[in-house]
Amino acid sequence: MTHERITKADQFYATQWLHVMLNKDDWLSEQIDEVLKARDEFKKICLASKPDKLNAFCEKWLSPAKWEELDQAIAAAHKRREKFAESDEHHVSLELTHRAKFILERLAKQYDCSLSDVIEQHLVDRVDCSLPDS
């Protein structure tokens, strides 16, 4: 089965999803040493921030079933983004410093996503409470 290659536009979603899944001890393999190797390699891939390296990682470590899960997660992320863009009722105004705006815009451009996606994806692990549904 052929899987979609991860594009620069999909890299943000793929990286976030893989980060979550690889932290589940038995998701990738039942052999913990293999899981630890994959996690170490993934950390290096994240630092490199290049889709071709992420694709090579996935080709090496993901089974066809895991690739399919990743493809579905990317497709779902695209649908959520489209739904959010169409729905204006979920938008709020926010005041930012020039520096904060610059940082958010650079990350949004790098990951080809919205400013809201950057905030949600990069800060979700730092929130110590239940988050509302979007």
User: Where in the sequence is the domain holding 88, given as residue range(s)?
Assistant: 8-94
Residue 2 lies in a domain: no
Residue 104 lies in a domain: no
**Structural domains of the chain, count:** 1
Find where tokens 């509302």 sit: 132
Residue 126 lies in a domain: no
Q: What is the model's pLDDT at position 94?
A: 80
Residue 116 lies in a domain: no
Q: What is the model's pLDDT at position 4?
A: 63
Any idea what the Cα angle at residue 10 is, between residues 60 and 25, rounded to 5°?
45
Residue 88 lies in a domain: yes
Low-confidence residues of the chain: pLDDT under 50: 1
Residue 31 lies in a domain: yes
Residue 133 lies in a domain: no
Nearest of 43, 35, 18 to residue 121 by alpha carbon: 18
Residue 85 lies in a domain: yes
Q: What is the model's pLDDT at position 1?
A: 45
What is the value of pTM for the model shown?
0.55
What kind and span of H or E run contains 100? helix 98-111
| CA-atom Rg of the chain in angstroms | 16
